[in-house]
Amino acid sequence: PEKNDSEPGSQRIKPVFIDDANFGRQISYQHAAVHIPTDIYEG
């Protein structure tokens, strides 16, 4: 059986995307992600 999204302990995040004219694509104002490259540092 599929897991119910309202089930306690569910770690699923469902971001809400909206069209943004500034970026020209769908974005979420509630969630963000940042990619930090670690291979440029020497230790």
pLDDT tens string 14-25: 888 999 999 899
Q: Is the pTM of the predicted complex or chain greater than 0.75?
A: no
Q: How many domains does the chain have?
A: 1
What range defines the domain where residue 36 resides? 15-43
Of all residues in the chain, what percent are helix, strand and coil, respectively (each to 5)?
Answer: 0, 15, 85
Q: Compare 29 and 6 and report the one with higher pLDDT.
A: 29
With respect to residue 32, please indicate whether it lies within any of the assigned structural domains. yes
With respect to residue 2, please indicate whether it lies within any of the assigned structural domains. no
pLDDT reading at 40 higher than 80: no
- Torsion sign, CA atoms 22, 27, 32, 36: negative
With respect to residue 40, please indicate whether it lies within any of the assigned structural domains. yes
